[in-house]
Structure 1
Amino acid sequence: MNTMKTAMLMAALTALFGGVGYLLGGGTGMLLALGFGVVTNVFAYWNSDRLALAAHHAVEVDDRTAPELVGMVRDLAARAGLPMPRVYLIDNPQPNAFATGRNPQNAAVAATTGILRILTYDELAGVMAHELAHVKNRDTLIMTISATVAGAIASLAQFGFLFGGRGSERPNPIVMIGTALIAPLAAGVIQMAISRSREYEADRIGAEICGQPLALASALAKIAGGVSHIPNEDAERHPATAPLFIINPLSGRGVDNLFSTHPATENRIAALQALAQQMGAGAPVNGHAGRGSFTSQATTSPWNKPRQGESRQGPWG
């Protein structure tokens, strides 16, 4: 099913490339845009994960630089039956995380420094399990390709508005302005159409991997609260990457909510609460995990415990 979704996504976005090219440059523009679209799809398949990580200045970490986080991801990947992904940290105060990569063998998970500061160990395990669920479902291929291609469509529309068409093939200025505005939104709608159901499924599978649906639900509530008042400037500069994140990083900016690629957080939390009842699992109480939980550690994460005389809040500091 995901293979079909990927093929449909690539076809729809490539067709949108052609439509933008036709509006901005006539028949010649359409052919050039279609060619560019095909090249972009191929490039995105092999390199979109690197572009997404670079757009957010992600830094790869290991057992030496972030032992707690890397160890957590390793244990969760083993539980999920997945190869160990690369692990990245993003120096950003907004709490958030995402996964990327064309397949489980070439996957990466990334977490912001902000998310490490506010979540407990079990909550963060739920978030990382959610991201590994995307890897397990091979959603990351869809997400990373759509992010790269949607961004390219926006760039093409803006470039065409400034430099597109000559002589008789140059379109009406109103058409050019409309295309420059509508094309990025159309690309976003395509992303949105295939994104929302993926989040519910990743929540469900992630909760099963970590064993604590309510810990993941608690994490979603905390992340949504942080996103609502902490801007993510890199995401604002690269809005096509928004669907990659566990919570829409643009959700604090008014009109972005109209084109959110994520379901409402309260609906996701309600689904996880229902799942917790089915599983008989709960969030940790008094430092003890519920049945089927990922960990029996206390609910405060080890990187939130500063050494004496320090304000350290993470394995990177």
Structure 2
Amino acid sequence: MSYFRTAILLAAMTALFMGIGYLFAGQTGMIVAFLVASGMNLFAYWNSDKMVLRMYGAREVDERSAPELYAMVRQLAQAADLPMPRVYIMENPQPNAFATGRNPENAAVAVTTGLMRTVDEGELAGVIAHELAHIKHRDTLLMTVTATLAGAISMLANFAMFFGGGSRDNNNPLGFVGVLLMVFLAPLAAGLVQMAISRTREYEADREGAEISGRPLWLASALQKISGAAERIPNMEAERNPASAHLFIVNPLSGARMDNLFSTHPNVENRVARLTELAHQMGELDTPSRAHSEPGHSGPWSSPRATRWD
């Protein structure tokens, strides 16, 4: 994703931040919010990836602590012509993954323990290749920075609600009406962030990731498994921080949440259909359920084996 589009979105998020400040304390609040947002934009550019990884309790691993995973990421990064990203594992039962970082030279790939228990080696390669595609297209900067700013917007709205948003002496030009608007702006901000990462980017990452791994049906099979498990297994960190849901390869939020109405993740069936069509174009004619089990694959692994991590 281009730096220009990133700048446009950051400007929109800053304007929303200023709007809440205006509702909270008039012109003074707007000016203060602008200064705070400017500082947060700069801080988020340099630190948002660390904040997101910390939010999900991700721990960094290396070739000694997770040799198979680390080797897989390194091999796929070489296939994608990318620098080696940092590798993280999240102690989370829900199978999922995301990438983060402001550029390919400062990127990270994080996978959950649930993912490593659910998929086999080929499917895991498909997921990691998808995340490397986001890094290659520089989608990760936009995803991490907007997640940070959306969280700040929600906190500012809550602060205004509980600390005088409706009093007469706070210079709020709209009074109690302004407070009510703040309450609604917080979930809308999360929805804005999720919609900011277009479905087209997810489709593009699927396509690019399939080309990196050489096996589109690896990813197709993984998406089916992840989607089915994510509907049954909650991701409590994502439920508490819905503005970061768009980071993941599959929506981590439960179906009971209203946030799913604003999900940027395309329908899994549509993603699988596109990957299946790509597999036909690449000469891979297996079905998604058999993609990872037959020998003679043309990707980084000539003979994938079913692997599980405890």
Q: TM (normalized to structure 2)? A: 0.93
Whether the aligned pair in 2 keeps the contact of 1:288 and 1:298 (CA below 8 Å) is yes
Task: Report the counterpart of residue 216 of structure 2 in structure 1.
Answer: 213
- Superimposed CA distance per residue, residues 248-290 of structure 1 (whole angstroms, 9 cap, x where no aligned partner): 1114334232111211111111111111111112464653143
Contact 1:284–1:299 under 8 Å retained in 2 = no
Return 5+ residue gaps in structure 2 as ranges: none
Change over 3 Å in CA distance of 1:3–1:168 after alignment to 2: closer
Q: How many residues align?
A: 303
Please state if 1:7 is matched with 2:10.
no
Note closer, same or farther for the CA distance 1:62–1:176 as it changes in structure 2 (3 Å cut): same
* 2:251 pairs with 1:244: no
Amino acid at match of 1:266: E
CA–CA separation in structure 2 for the residues paired with 1:237 and 1:79: 36
User: How far apart are the structure 2 equivalents of 1:151 and 1:173?
Assistant: 23
Q: Which amino acid aligns with 2:45?
A: Y
Aligned: 1:271 with 2:277 = no
Please state how far the C-alpha of 1:185 moved relative to its aligned partner: 1.2
CA distance in 2: counterparts of 1:180 and 1:25, whole angstroms: 15
Maintained 8 Å contact 1:97/1:111: yes
How far residue 162 of structure 1 moved from its aligned partner, in angstroms, is 1.4
- 1:255 equivalent to 2:258? Answer yes
Q: Cα RMSD between the aligned structures? A: 1.6
> Structure 1 residue 187: deviation in Å?
4.3
TM-score normalised over the length of structure 1: 0.91
Alignment of 1:95-244 (within 5 A): 95-164=95-164, 167=169, 169-170=171-172, 171-244=174-247
Name the SS of the counterpart of 2:198 in structure 1.
helix
The 3-state SS of whatever aligns with 1:226 is: helix
Secondary structure of the corresponding residue to residue 169 of structure 1: coil
| Aligned amino acid, residue 30 of structure 1 | M
Is the CA contact (8 Å cut-off) linking 1:26 and 1:169 kept in structure 2?
yes
> Corresponding residue for 1:296?
302
The runs of 5 or more residues in structure 1 that have no matched partner are 305-312
Partner of 1:307: none
Q: CA deviation at 1:245?
A: 0.5
Indicate the percent of aligned positions where both proteins have the same amino acid: 57
Residue range with higher mean Cα deviation, 227-236 or 185-194: 185-194
C-alpha distance after superposition, 1:115-141 (max 9, x if no partner): 000101000000000000000001100
